[in-house]
Amino acid sequence: MNNLFFKNKGPFKIDQLLKLSGITNKDNFTKVKVTDIKDLAAATNNEISFFHSKKYENLASKTKALFCITTNNLSKILPTQCKKIIVNNVLISTAMITKIFYPASVTDDFDHNVKEISKTSFKKKVKFGKNVLVGKNVKIGKNCLIGHNTILESNVVIGNNCSIGSNVIIRNTIIKNDVNILDGCVVGKKGFGFFPQKEKNFRYPHIGTVVINDNVEIGCGSTIDRGSMSNTIIGKNTFLDNQIHIAHNNIIGDNCIIAGQVGFAGSSTLGNNVMIGGQAGISGHLKIGNNVQIAGGSGVIKNIPDNSRVMGYPAKDLKNFIKDNK
């Protein structure tokens, strides 16, 4: 599937790609064309991927990627047909190659192509407030409301019966039907991904999308970052309270209820029917099961199995927490 929001400059020959990114071509790969860079699950036999942590060894062992950037130790997990590119720092090398394919993905400059909605074909189809701006190729469904001072940047997709509040910015996002996004939200900006350097921090490109499914509500002042490589996804019938932050690559399940000021670090998966109390914090790269309840103010730093109830910092089983704090 083509990227709706960032233009792919590929294909590149693999030796050219490695040279441009400063990666040593130890195995003298030549001539083979690489069309794109994707994560382990999505990559096909003409694309390059990356494998940086044993947390993803199940995906790595099944990847269909033609090439994979990895370390010497992790390379043994990859399928035999996948050609290994051995590097010292997988994520920096991946970032360099991603920038070559998608050079516009690093910066988040404002969209120069927006127009006042009153000067577009939407003026007769959509109810809108004052100073609404719309970019190129935006799609808006039937019976939608757009609040004052809101900006819908190029290629954004909004389904039917949606209400977008005032002072909202939406970019790199696909919104399904019956979605309410309240005032002051920012959806689809780049995530907080970078590598600390002494003189100038190195920013990780974000080429993913935000996908918001049917019947979702997003409370005032919330922020949802687009994915770095894959998408950030909000499941059906999930309600977010005010001032919630969801970082890149998170997958939030269906029918979840998340109270105010909850923060998610990147790349975690939340199951269905999860309830999270206010000001809880969820660390990155975790899996939280179905029907889990997390008490307010908890700090989640490890995976949580289905049907669990946890509380505290670090979060632990609710019964044990109460017992330990009598």
Sorted by where each begins, the domain ranges of the chain are: 12-105, 115-324
Superfamily of domain 115-324: Hexapeptide repeat proteins (2.160.10.10)
Q: E-strand spans in 101-216?
A: 115-116, 127-128, 133-134, 139-140, 145-146, 151-152, 157-158, 163-164, 169-170, 173-175, 180-181, 186-189, 194-195, 202-203, 210-212
214-236 average pLDDT score: 97
Same topology for domains 12-105 and 115-324, yes or no? no
pTM for the predicted model, two decimal places: 0.93
* First CA to last CA distance, the chain: 55
Please report which confidence band the pLDDT of residue 38 belongs to, taking 50, 70 and 90 as the band edges: very high
Q: Which two tokens stand for residue 223?
A: 């922020």
> Active-site residue among 52, 112, 248, 285?
248
| Listed residue (260, 290, 254, 263) closest to 277, CA to CA | 260
Residue 96: is it exposed, middle or buried by C-beta count within 10 angstroms (0-12/13-18/19+)? buried
The pLDDT score that the predictor gives to residue 322 is: 80
Q: Which two tokens stand for residue 263?
A: 């923060």
> Does position 117 have pLDDT exceeding 80, yes or no?
yes
pLDDT tens digits along 183-206? 999 999 999 988 888 888 888 899
Contact 292, 307 (CB under 8 A): yes
Question: Which uninterrupted H or E stretch holds 91?
Answer: helix 90-101
The pLDDT score that the predictor gives to residue 202 is: 84
pLDDT tens digits along 144-156? 999 999 999 999 9
> Does position 17 have pLDDT exceeding 80, yes or no?
yes
Spacing of C-alpha 9 from chain mean position: 21
> Does position 1 have pLDDT exceeding 70, yes or no?
no
When mean pLDDT is compared across 73-77, 118-122, 166-170, 282-286, the lowest value belongs to 118-122
Q: Name the average pLDDT for the chain.
A: 94
Is residue 245 part of the annotated active site? The answer reads no
Q: Which two tokens stand for residue 289?
A: 């099961």
Architecture of domain 12-105: 3-Layer(aba) Sandwich (3.40)
